[in-house]
Amino acid sequence: MTTDHHDLTKLFAAGSCADRPVASPYQALRAMTVGGDVRLKALWAFVTLGIPLILKDGPRASDDVAAVCEADRSKMRRFLYAMHAYGLVDRDAAGRYGLTAMGQVLLPGEGSMWAEVGVTMAPLWQEAGERLPETICIGHPAILRDHVAPHALLTRDRQLATLFDMFMNGQSRAVADALADRDYSSVRTLAVAGGGARNVLDTILRAHPHLKGILVERSRVAEQAEHHHAEQEVADPVQVAYADMFSDLCPPADVIILPLVLHNHDDTDSRLLLAHVGDALRKAGPLARLWCIETLLPKPGVCTSAIDLDVRMMTLFADGQERTLEQYQELMRLAGLDIIATEALPADQTLMIAQPAA
């Protein structure tokens, strides 16, 4: 059984959109109410029981897995039967279960999605979703109370904060690999800011050691990054820029990458950030470009993972939102930038390449 790496993301939302032909409205609603919640909790059980690690070295019988987990054999048989249907494991002629490519993505380590499962099942995230009706009524995430973003709440839970950082780095892995495959022969300086920036920068620099890398981050993240980059196999040390891009100037660079940054902010703040980026591009020279990476909302009535992500953003970020390509084009225009090209990236993300307007 062959399963694409990114099908795991689709599994999260498999029951959340009525995007398949159904016999009745009841059937469509049942898929939304049962499928999404059950599949998320099944992923949580799969990871929490350590099944990916148990199957890491090869197929094993269901009863063997149950013995290692100290679980009920009958329930484990039923559970692995379901995991087979979900595409996390396959089953050989002897009835033994082994990890599929999708199941392997849940193994701990670089590029793993196990951290995303843990973050999504964390009480903070669960409560945020449960309070969505209140959020819709009051106009901001009910979970945040006096905070403007969930990051402030993360500082109260060190384990969750660590898991969230791992989640962000893992989320950026496939995109980072795709960016590293691009041509950088005319690029000398590369700046990256925002979600998964460290991972994106490291991946590109390893593939293109002639580049000078600049990591633009908040002070707490930047301090961690200085220690991290000292251990990386890159030819030139990475410059770590302590900057709040809403109030500080962005450092000039031939290419400035913003991975999943703008969707955290409202239009006013996004335009301000983009204006600072535009100033940096003009200082860098006429060939300097912005690479903005976001998940684009589809046209009305079409269901993609971006719809689910936008609802999640509504529950957690006071100003966060997903946008259409047309909305990003307008944001760029108002900030003095023009989108000159777009390219599809892994994990349903899109690369928007922009330059200062003439």
The set of catalytic residues is: 263
Which tokens in the block code for residue 159?
Answer: 């384990």
**C-beta separation of 238 from 215 below 8 A:** yes
